[in-house]
């Protein structure tokens, strides 16, 4: 009892001191310039974290702030990666504006690795010892060719396929996820199922749009033995000669020809509205997509989405790294935060919050992952579905202009879906715009 | 009254005034007085000569800093292969050679002019008719006059967002209304014609009232006796409008055409938001305007050199249109 009292007294004194400190820094802030904040003599440090999509970090930020009273975290989140990248690029080139910790997605990683002088070497901040926890390839990709540790892995994107059980039921298709998985051992099976779905006239389309299917088939095919997509490992454009691209393209063409696509471009407001209005019944789902489905579809559709195996099996899409820009005024603190966010425990916490599948292998065999079900997705055993693919992922090389090419190709796929281009015209145009975007 | 009062006062002070005697300076030698007079004369002259420049200087200084310098610097940038990442290299007129054969650029020019035409022609016609209606004597005219201006104070952003939703493919109100009369839903973003119409309506909704008010102001300056004379001659209202009002409004119409031209060639926010915030202006650039193309190059591809080239081409385009406007104006005034 006495001990508690003393602790309380201490706490009281600490609170008063903290308040006094806060006031004094606030006062000095009026006269002195911002630099007085940076030197951090007892004041708080604000660390800005730039992310896109849904990383599942909110609770971790609170936890970190609670453990480090001098750190305040400002989270800047953008929905679309396509909006995120040019901004980050401009900040880096301008030498100011970027967050203290920034997320780098796999598709833009090479672009920024080519400017590795703009990023801190995290090995200088003691991150080198973390290697053992990670998937080897994830760790290696975080390093530049000259061995600098530029990024610490966050999640990876093993694939599944999300579907609406209620719409499947209306269409007279099986709704049990194991039976559904059996409908599509490959993409042909997927399209056949789509035809049956379309014949039932539920008012919904079978797939959301071209992008997710295209990216999924592309990365699956590329991952089998080719090992690269638009660019080969010498960063040369191989758009018209890589069979993986043609296969992905033909799959999308067929989906369109059968009228199975709602033709909504991913991550746009129309796409979000499509979730709520039930415009489509399936969506290619890397693990991280589950968080995005949940955000967009909202609580009303809880339990109506489910997850089955991805057609064709294997493959992954997406996943990120955290890096600390050289321009950060608090590189040491930022590196600490990045290390915290990429610790095995944080990987797990983020995963439990937003289904961003860990690239840290520590809990792969732990029941917390293997037995994990997701209530929103009709209690689907998401840990098992995505966990099986995770350890077999083979990395695919994405070139330095990957995002530019991808965006242009997605535009062509959109035009194809709009009926503005015929299949052969679209293929020709895709080749042209890819060349243009790669220059 | 005022005009009369002023000379009187000046006359008084010139004559020395009543209270002036006490402070009258002691007599000075003639040569000194003349030297002073010369100095004063010089000052007056200098004042007359240079003060006006000082008065107008703020505009020119601001123009030089925010107008002329960026213009010149943009031109300088456009002469380089200037990328955000990877440095810069002088390339002379290479960018201009490229842009002249760049199909995407000419597509953007085509879109810009197309949207401008289908937006401006109906806009000015409706504004004219609207102004004519508002010019009648009626109850609550002030409310109507303010009402037509209301869209102008709405932010362009809000207008674009709301209209983009109205034109939504799956759940938009326009398609719902078309469905009521049995017309199939239109994917407004997919085709050139539909996207142009959608964007033109956004522009018109915002600017028609503004032009109507300008026309209205000009209409009220037309002498009433002209209308009375026309009435006596038996001209119908419609005829009065076309053969009296419209010709009298000619200078005002020209003014609005010029303003609309400059605005129309710089169309940006509406097509940007109509294409879900992307600079591409549709899957095939169906509604990509020149400004969007400029942004795509400068801020998506980080190719500042080429972006600056697009900016300069836009500038030349506006100059070209202004000259055309000027020639038309001259022709109209000479036929008068």
- Closest chain B residue by Cα to residue A205: B170
What is the structure's pLDDT at B324? 87
What is the structure's pLDDT at B88? 84
**Looking at the complex, does the CB of residue A93 fall below 8 Å from at least one CB of chain B?**
yes
Give the one of B280, B301, B302 whose C-beta lies nearest to A411's C-beta.
B280
Give the one of A83, A279, A437 whose C-beta lies nearest to B170's C-beta.
A279
Neighbours of A317 (CB within 10 A): 25
| H or E element, residue B289 | none
Q: Which of residues 273-312 of A touch B (CB under 8 A)?
A: 273-274, 277, 279
**Looking at the complex, does the CB of residue B90 fall below 8 Å from at least one CB of chain A?**
no
Rg (CA), chain B: 29
Neighbours of A352 (CB within 10 A): 16
Structure-block tokens of residue B40: 């004063």
- Closest chain B residue by Cα to residue A118: B85
Q: If DSSP codes are grouped into helix, strand and coil, which group holds residue A315?
A: coil
What is the structure's pLDDT at A36? 38
Q: If DSSP codes are grouped into helix, strand and coil, which group holds residue A102?
A: strand
pTM, full prediction:
0.81
**Looking at the complex, does the CB of residue A425 fall below 8 Å from at least one CB of chain B?**
no
Structure-block tokens of residue A230: 């638009």
Residue B57, CA atoms < 13 Å, CB-side half-sphere: 6
Quick: pLDDT tens for A197-223.
999 999 999 999 999 999 999 999 998
The verdict on a CB contact (< 8 Å) between A420 and B302 is no
In order of start, what are the domains of chain A with their CATH numbers? 158-317+381-438 (3.40.190.10)
The verdict on a CB contact (< 8 Å) between A90 and B302 is yes
Task: Give the whole-angstrom CA distance, residue B138 versus residue B134.
Answer: 8
Q: Which residues of B touch A279 (CB under 8 A)?
A: 170
Interface test with A, best of B283, B286, B287 (most A CBs within 10 A): B283
Residues 6+ apart with CB under 8 A from B196: B111, B114, B115, B118, B287
B190 contacts B283 by C-beta, under 8 angstroms: yes
pLDDT by 10-residue block (mean), chain B, 336 residues: 41 42 56 81 89 90 93 94 84 93 95 94 93 85 86 90 92 93 93 96 94 93 90 89 88 88 92 91 94 93 92 93 82 62
Residue A67, CA atoms < 13 Å, CB-side half-sphere: 9
State the DSSP string of A167-198.
HHHHTT---SHHHHHHH-SSHHHHHHHHHHHH
**Looking at the complex, does the CB of residue B299 fall below 8 Å from at least one CB of chain A?**
yes
The verdict on a CB contact (< 8 Å) between B187 and A270 is no
Residue A129, CA atoms < 13 Å, CB-side half-sphere: 3
ipTM: 0.79
**Who has greater pLDDT, B14 or A413?**
A413
Give the one of A269, A411, A437 whose C-beta lies nearest to B283's C-beta.
A411
The verdict on a CB contact (< 8 Å) between A270 and B301 is no
Q: What is the DSSP letter of A121?
A: -
CB pairs under 8 A between A and B: 56
Give the one of B190, B286, B299 whose C-beta lies nearest to A86's C-beta.
B299
Residue with tokens 């489509």: A280
Classify domain B98-335 at the CATH topology level: MetI-like fold (1.10.3720)
**Looking at the complex, does the CB of residue A426 fall below 8 Å from at least one CB of chain B?**
no
Q: Which residues of A touch B276 (CB under 8 A)?
A: 265, 268-270
- Beta-ladder partners of A101: A49
pLDDT at A5 over 50: no
- Kindly provide the residue ranges of all beta strands, DSSP E only, lying in B157-229, ordered along the sequence: none
pLDDT at A423 over 90: yes
Task: Give the whole-angstrom CA distance, residue A293 versus residue A275.
Answer: 8
Task: For chain B, report the end-to-end CA distance as a whole number of angstroms.
Answer: 39
Residues B22-48 as b or e (16 or more Cβ within 10 Å = b): eeeeeeeeeeeeeeeeeeeeeeeeeee
What is the structure's pLDDT at B335? 56
- Kindly provide the residue ranges of all beta strands, DSSP E only, lying in A195-239, ordered along the sequence: 205-207
Quick: pLDDT tens for A337-354.
999 999 999 999 999 999
């Amino acid at each position: 009892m006495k001990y508690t009292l003393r602790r309380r007294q201490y706490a009281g004194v600490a609170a008063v001191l903290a308040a006094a400190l806060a006031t004094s820094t606030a006062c000095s802030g009026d006269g002195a310039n911002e630099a007085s904040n940076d030197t951090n003599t007892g004041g708080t440090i604000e660390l800005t974290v730039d992310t896109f999509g849904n990383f599942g970090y909110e609770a971790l930020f609170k936890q970190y702030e609670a453990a480090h009273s001098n750190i305040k975290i400002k989270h800047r989140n953008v929905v679309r990666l396509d909006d995120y990248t040019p901004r980050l690029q401009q900040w880096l080139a301008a030498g100011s504006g970027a967050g203290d910790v920034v997320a780098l997605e796999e598709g833009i990683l090479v672009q920024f690795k080519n400017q590795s002088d703009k990023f801190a070497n995290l090995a200088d901040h003691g991150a080198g010892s973390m290697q053992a926890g990670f998937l080897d390839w994830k760790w290696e990709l975080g390093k530049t060719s000259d061995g600098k540790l530029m990024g610490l892995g966050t999640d990876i994107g093993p694939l599944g396929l999300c579907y609406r059980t209620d719409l499947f039921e209306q269409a007279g298709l099986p709704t049990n996820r194991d039976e559904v998985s059996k409908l599509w051992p490959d993409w042909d099976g997927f399209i056949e199922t789509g035809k049956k779905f379309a014949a039932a006239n539920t008012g919904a389309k079978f797939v959301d749009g071209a992008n997710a299917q295209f990216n999924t088939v592309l990365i699956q095919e590329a991952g089998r033995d080719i090992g690269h997509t638009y660019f080969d490992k010498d960063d040369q454009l191989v758009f018209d000669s890589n069979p993986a691209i043609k296969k992905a393209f033909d799959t999308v063409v067929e989906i369109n020809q059968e009228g199975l696509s709602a033709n909504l471009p991913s991550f746009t407001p129309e796409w979000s509205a499509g979730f709520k209005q039930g415009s489509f019944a399936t969506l290619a789902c890397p693990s991280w997509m589950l968080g995005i489905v949940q955000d967009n579809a909202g609580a009303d559709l809880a339990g109506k989405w489910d997850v089955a195996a991805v057609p064709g099996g294997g493959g992954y899409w997406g996943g990120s790294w955290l890096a600390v820009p050289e321009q950060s005024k608090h590189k040491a603190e930022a590196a600490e935060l990045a290390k915290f966010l990429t610790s095995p425990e944080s990987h797990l916490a983020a995963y439990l919050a937003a289904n961003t599948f860990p690239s840290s292998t520590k809990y792969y065999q732990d029941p917390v992952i293997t037995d994990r079900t997701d209530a929103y997705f009709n209690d689907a055993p998401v840990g098992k579905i995505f966990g099986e693919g995770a350890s077999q992922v083979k990395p695919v090389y994405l070139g330095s202009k990957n995002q530019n090419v991808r965006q242009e190709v997605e535009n062509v796929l959109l035009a194809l879906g709009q009926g503005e281009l015929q299949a052969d015209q679209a293929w020709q145009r895709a080749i042209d715009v890819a060349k243009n975007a790669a220059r | 009254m005022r005009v009369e009062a002023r000379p009187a006062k000046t006359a008084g002070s010139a004559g020395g005034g009543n209270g002036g005697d006490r402070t009258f300076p002691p007599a000075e030698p003639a040569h000194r007085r003349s030297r002073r007079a010369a100095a004063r004369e010089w000052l007056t002259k200098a004042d007359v000569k240079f003060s006006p420049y000082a008065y107008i200087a703020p505009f020119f200084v601001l123009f030089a800093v925010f107008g002329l310098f960026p213009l010149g610097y943009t031109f300088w940038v456009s002469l380089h292969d200037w990328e955000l990442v990877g440095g810069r290299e002088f390339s002379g007129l290479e960018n201009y050679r490229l842009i002249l054969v760049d199909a995407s650029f000419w597509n953007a020019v085509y879109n810009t002019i197309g949207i401008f035409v289908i937006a401006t022609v109906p806009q000015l016609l409706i504004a004219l008719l609207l102004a004519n209606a508002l010019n009648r004597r009626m109850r609550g005219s002030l409310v109507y006059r303010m009402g037509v201006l209301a869209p102008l104070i709405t932010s362009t952003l809000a207008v674009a967002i709301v209209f983009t939703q109205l034109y939504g493919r799956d759940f938009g109100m326009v398609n719902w209304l078309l469905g009521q009369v049995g017309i199939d839903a239109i994917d407004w973003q997919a085709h050139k014609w539909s996207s142009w119409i959608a964007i033109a309506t956004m522009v018109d909704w915002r600017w028609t009232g503004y032009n109507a008010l300008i026309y209205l102001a000009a209409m009220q300056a037309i002498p009433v006796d002209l209308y009375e004379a026309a009435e006596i001659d038996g001209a119908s209202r419609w005829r009065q409008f076309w053969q009296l009002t419209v010709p009298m409004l000619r200078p005002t119409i020209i003014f609005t055409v010029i303003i609309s031209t400059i605005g129309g060639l710089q169309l940006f926010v509406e097509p940007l938001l109509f294409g879900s915030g992307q600079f591409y202006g549709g899957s095939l650039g169906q509604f990509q305007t020149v400004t969007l193309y400029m942004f795509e190059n400068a801020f998506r591809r980080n190719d500042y050199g080429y972006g600056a080239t697009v900016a300069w081409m836009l500038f030349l385009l506006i100059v070209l249109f202004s000259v055309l406007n000027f020639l038309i104006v001259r022709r109209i005034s000479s036929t008068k």
